[in-house]
Chains A and B, each alone.
Chain A
Amino acid sequence: MNRRDFLGHTAAFALTGLALQHPSFSDDPPVKVAVVGTGGRGTDLVRKLSTIERANIVAVCDDYEPHLTRGGEAAGPQARNYLHYEEMLQKEAIDAVIVAVPLYLHYAVCRDAIHAGCDVFCEKTMCYSVAEAQELVKLVQAHNTIFQVGLQRRASAIYRQAKAMVQTGMLGDVFSIKAQWHRNGDWRRPVPVKRDHPDWQRLERKLNWRLYWPYSQGLMTELGSHQIDVANWMLGTSPARVTAFGGTDYWKDGREVFDNVYCIYEYDKQDKEGHSYTARVTYSSIQSNAFEGASELIMGTKGTLLLTERTGLFYKEGGEETVDWQGGEQDEASAAAATITSGKTLSLSNDPWAHRGKPFEIQAGSDSTRDQLISFLDNVQQKDMKTICTVENGLINTASAIMANQAIQEGRTVEFEI
């Protein structure tokens, strides 16, 4: 077997059968679902659920009436609306609760839903604190709850294929991951009353909870947790430590959380021969420039994966061998290009575009937010606790995201602890 054949085989292995399989349970009754929290994300989840035959949305709940009305309209006339989730849990016969409330309420709603005998899908980040996440793990285990965290990249065909490519060695050894979520905007929700209105302060805190520490952990839990989860998943372990810097430097508008964060995570790893090494992940999230948007770069000794929710691209690293790593026949020009872009000297090039020959492209194929819900409903119907993102994954993710805030606030390197 030559190198080209090898690459071809591993690619074939990696690129087949990794999309989530959704078995049909036409004889099973639909899962009776309730959604708690119908803000922007919660209503998105309602809309996706409304397209899934095995979901019967029986109730939606939000304590802010405009959001409740919007969520109810998206759910359909069969769903009953509630302002208080406790009343909803008491009155409705619910199989599964979807939790999409602000972060500081995740634990309480999940806890009460579990006590009511429901299975739970909880939006990311799973909990506001590590202590809450640890309690939730115990609760889920004690009640045999089917529990899934809404880190939807785990349901994405792109990311699942990427994971397989890392596992089968197509990237070589991964020492580095670079990820970012860059935006240029104030991240605010408009408040529907003027500043001098007596309700402004209350509504500002309610609608812009992401901007205040009592309700949110800011960029790391609202955006970064997705990408730190990708790093943990690809590297197959949790981070050992993190150092980070950040601040509120651009948006001087009364917000409390950081508007920019820069982190370096270290992961203690061992190679196949048992030698220790450290893999490092750099992560930034800023709100003053949107260049590069949101993506993750998985950098191995043999290749690089550039991952977004819409497309995944695989670039082979330059090396001594000049192989047609994409497989298939190429015309003369493409073959020449392949020779150049995988040429040995380019391994030393400083040109940021030098290694970017024609990449292997992976398309999303479907919507990962919808796919993760289908996967969760499958688990509920099959009574299978092994969801694609378990409560234990959620605990690790919570701790991984929050430790960066701690590093910034305390000005020191923080060790991973759960």
Chain B
Amino acid sequence: MGTLFQLWLRGDNKGHLQSVAFKAWEEVDRLELLLSRYDSRAEIARVNREAVERPVRIEIELFTILQNCQHWAHRTNGYFNIAYASNVRPIGSEKAAPFTLNEEQRTVHFAHDTVSLDLGGYGKGYALDRIAELLRSFGIASACVHGGGSSVLAMGHQENGDPWTVDIPHAKDPSRIIHRRSLLNQGFSYSATMPDDELVADIVDPHQNQAIQKADACWVLSPSALDAEVWTTALLAMGREQAEEAFSGVLDGASEIGWA
């Protein structure tokens, strides 16, 4: 996923925590080889190479992920779109989808030779949720893990009994902290687009098929780190006005959004 992951674990046996942490890193490495389009060995890279020519059989886990991405595309009116750069109509529109899934054969097939899948707005949140599952399976109740500083998942409490917290910076001045939020067994994601005179944003409006130009930032708290990451990507692509009108601060009863 090309980013730094950090992990804090609490428990009474350091050796056990070390072993669990080691296993968590192995899981991140495994997911990198499933989801990274930048590593030619990865499963998604193979899909991007081959699925335009023929239906490609893929791992059960990746198939489930792609199904979930289709679900998210519909849920966000096409603003979450892993095929955003494909120069065809986004998922959720009336036109043909950029890729089709065949559940019986467990295959993915691209509709056009410009289709390419990018799980960049999905992978970190997915990895954090998998790590949380792994930690729980080894009896760890208190932990905080983040990917790239912008995707966070917290379980339990800090050593002093306080909840884990995240500081939320201003979109145009990241040195200015405008919110501090507690995470109570929650995932958190923060996404920002860059001001025009800085780097090009990595979030794309799939309906316009171009990078978001306006500086803005959005955060989401959710029981799932994956949900939080997908929502921030979609909401930022949607734009503040439209998103606020559509969701009014509460996404689905369990998640909460904010703008920075």
A residues at B contact (CB < 8 Å):
40, 44, 47, 50-53, 73-74, 76, 185-192, 194-195, 253, 309-310, 363-368
Contacts and interface: CB of A to CB of B under 8 A. Distances in A.
B121 to A, nearest CB: 23
Nearest to B107: A53
- The B interface, classified by DSSP as helix, strand, loop or mixed, is helix
B24 to A, nearest CB: 10
A192 B57 contact: no
Interface string B8-46: 000001011011101101100010010000011111001
Given A52-B57, A74-B61, A186-B19, A192 B139 contact: yes
Contacts of B16: 190-191
Interface residues of B, number: 28
Contact of A47 (B41, B46, B59): B59
Contacts, number: 67
A50 B59 CA distance: 6
A186 B22 contact: yes
Nearest to A48: B59
B46 A74 contact: no
Contacts of A310: 39, 41
B247 interface: no
B40 A364 contact: yes
A190 B61 CA distance: 23
Contacts of B59: 47, 50-51, 74
Contacts of B39: 310
B19 A367 contact: no
Given A51-B46, A185-B25, 15 more contacts: A40-B26, A47-B60, A51-B59, A74-B61, A186-B15, A186-B19, A188-B19, A188-B22, A189-B23, A190-B16, A190-B20, A191-B19, A192-B137, A309-B41, A368-B41
Contacts of A195: 13
25 contacts: A40-B26, A47-B60, A47-B61, A51-B43, A51-B56, A51-B57, A52-B57, A74-B59, A76-B106, A186-B15, A186-B19, A188-B15, A188-B18, A190-B138, A191-B19, A194-B139, A253-B15, A363-B40, A364-B41, A366-B40, A367-B41, A367-B42, A367-B43, A367-B46, A368-B41
Contacts of B111: none
B60 A73 contact: yes
Nearest to B26: A40
A363 B13 CA distance: 42
Contact of A192 (B25, B46, B58, B138): B138
A309 B23 CA distance: 21
A365 B40 contact: yes
Contacts of B40: 363-366
Given A186-B15, A367-B33, A76 B60 contact: yes
B79 to A, nearest CB: 30
